[in-house]
């Protein structure tokens, strides 16, 4: 299936009569709680995010995946992660697999459509082999880390400094969010307006470890919980960098032809198990801002139940909005949409094509965003694994856990957004229909690479595997291509 633009009436017309392709910025927050932004009633001061959301289109039923890797894969491919084995948990430092190289990615498709493709921040779609790295998956430029979480001040993980620019490992001073903000502003300043660009700003914040500059933490001295103060400070710092990105666009005269999309990859972490579950106990005990697996994490996903790792709404229904001045009027969209819908939508706007060999699961959602049309999706697969899955159709959502003794739950989200009342017994036909849909998806899924990797993973647990071309010194830095600041 190929997606091409049928109409670019929303875009700015160029002088030669051809539509001018919009610049695209996708901002991905990490483990951001549904209730932890100012415009959603949270305690955190987020004026820049609030302005973009309130002046744009708020997507109030937008779904990611339960955890980081699957959600990022869905964004990059327009296809459900179960199609290529990334449906289970995340890629740990000792794992050697990544996003299948035969999957056509969003930056690859946009590059073919004439875009400059830029990324700054967290990748988390494969690190053990350079073939998985962003600069080998369609990005012209990459600055950031390829594993999951790192220390915000040192970028260290498992004895390795995971920080690079286009394959050149760096040992830089500074706070993670500030560094990628500086880089994003620099990249925008370098644009001349002649070639459209795609910027993927993939924030690590506010993922654990909960670390922020003291100046950001001090804003929340009235909050008694230490981890929550740091968590709030991390979100504030992210908001500052988003404000700088918008200001840089304004300065270059690019804002009116730049579409900004914002979403969290999954719900906020409410348990230490999913806040930092891939770390050893020693790492968690010794790291500033670390969290024990049994400890309560600081995010809030109200009014939803559950959090990161869960199939409940709090784990998968994420804050999201789209901003395009003069092209989109402020509105709230409650139609169910999914991360897989982003790629076909952007390619339709950009005049790009997907892959005929790997058809999209996602649909072009632009009319839903711009006109408030019904969702293009007959149903939304939230996720499916060998042992559990969830699917939504209209207001109905079914969650099935296959592990014995097993459990089937059906919720009417319009009446029960908190998923407190299982109505499967009262609505057997609805439950049977959604279960049949979920089982069909389950039959189509590829073997989970996470499960497949477990025999080797058990022996290598705690060991960080980076590309073998980069031998690691005792200081955690590769022998080659390392820039040490003065």
Q: CA-CA distance, 371 to 359, in Å (whole number)?
A: 26
Residue 125's closest CA among 170, 71, 175, 169?
71
Q: Which of 95, 124, 127, 338 is catalytic?
A: 124
Q: CA-CA distance, 77 to 102, in Å (whole number)?
A: 10
User: Quick check: is 127 catalytic?
Assistant: no
- Name every residue whose Cβ is closer than 8 Å to that of residue 19 and which is 6 or more positions away in sequence: 5, 8, 11, 12, 13
- Give bridge partners of residue 19 from the DSSP assignment: 13
Strands 164-165 vs 482-483: parallel, antiparallel or unpaired: unpaired
User: Quick check: is 479 catalytic?
Assistant: no
Active site members: 68, 124
């Amino acid at each position: 299936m190929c997606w091409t633009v049928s109409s670019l009436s929303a875009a700015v017309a160029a002088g030669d009569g051809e539509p001018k392709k919009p610049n695209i910025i996708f901002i991905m927050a990490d483990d951001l709680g549904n209730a932890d932004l100012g415009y959603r009633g949270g305690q955190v001061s987020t004026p820049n995010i609030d302005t973009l959301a309130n002046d744009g289109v708020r997507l109030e039923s937008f779904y990611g995946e339960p955890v980081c890797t699957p959600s990022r894969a869905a964004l990059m491919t327009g296809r459900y992660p179960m199609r290529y084995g990334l449906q289970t948990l995340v890629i740990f430092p000792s794992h050697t697999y990544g996003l299948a190289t035969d999957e056509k990615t969003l930056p690859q498709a946009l590059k073919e459509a004439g875009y400059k493709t830029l990324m700054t921040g967290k990748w988390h779609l494969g690190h053990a082999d350079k073939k998985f790295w962003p600069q080998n998956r369609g990005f012209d430029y990459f600055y950031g880390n390829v594993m999951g979480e790192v220390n915000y001040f040192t970028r260290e993980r498992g004895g390795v400094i995971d920080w690079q620019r286009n394959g050149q490992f760096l040992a830089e001073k500074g706070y993670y969010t500030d560094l990628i903000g500086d880089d994003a502003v620099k990249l925008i300043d370098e644009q001349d307006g002649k070639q459209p660009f795609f910027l993927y700003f993939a924030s690590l914040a506010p993922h654990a470890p909960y670390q922020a500059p003291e100046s950001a933490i001090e804003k929340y001295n009235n909050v008694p919980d230490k981890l929550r103060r740091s968590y709030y400070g991390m979100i504030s710092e992210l908001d500052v960098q988003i404000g700088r990105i918008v200001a840089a666009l304004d300065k270059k005269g690019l804002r009116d032809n730049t579409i900004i999309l914002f979403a969290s990859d999954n719900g906020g972490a409410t348990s230490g198990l999913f806040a930092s579950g891939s770390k050893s106990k020693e790492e968690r005990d010794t790291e500033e801002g670390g969290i024990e697996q049994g400890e309560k994490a600081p995010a809030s996903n109200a009014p939803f139940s559950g959090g990161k790792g869960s199939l409940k709404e709090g784990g998968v229904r994420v804050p999201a909005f789209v901003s395009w001045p003069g092209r989109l009027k402020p509105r709230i969209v409650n139609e169910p949409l999914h991360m897989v819908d982003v790629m076909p939508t952007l390619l339709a706007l950009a005049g790009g094509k997907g892959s005929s060999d790997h058809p999209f699961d996602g649909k072009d959602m632009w009319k839903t965003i711009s006109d408030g049309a019904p969702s293009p999706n007959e149903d939304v697969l939230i996720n499916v694994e060998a042992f559990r899955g969830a699917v939504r159709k209209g207001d109905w959502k079914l969650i099935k856990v296959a592990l014995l003794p097993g459990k089937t739950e059906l919720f009417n989200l319009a009446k029960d957004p908190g998923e407190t009342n299982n109505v499967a017994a009262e609505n057997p036909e609805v439950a049977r229909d959604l279960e049949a849909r979920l089982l069909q998806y389950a039959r189509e899924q590829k073997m989970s690479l996470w499960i497949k990797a477990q025999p080797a993973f058990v022996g290598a647990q705690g060991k960080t595997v980076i590309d073998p071309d980069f031998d690691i010194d005792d200081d955690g830095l590769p022998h080659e291509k390392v820039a040490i600041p003065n």
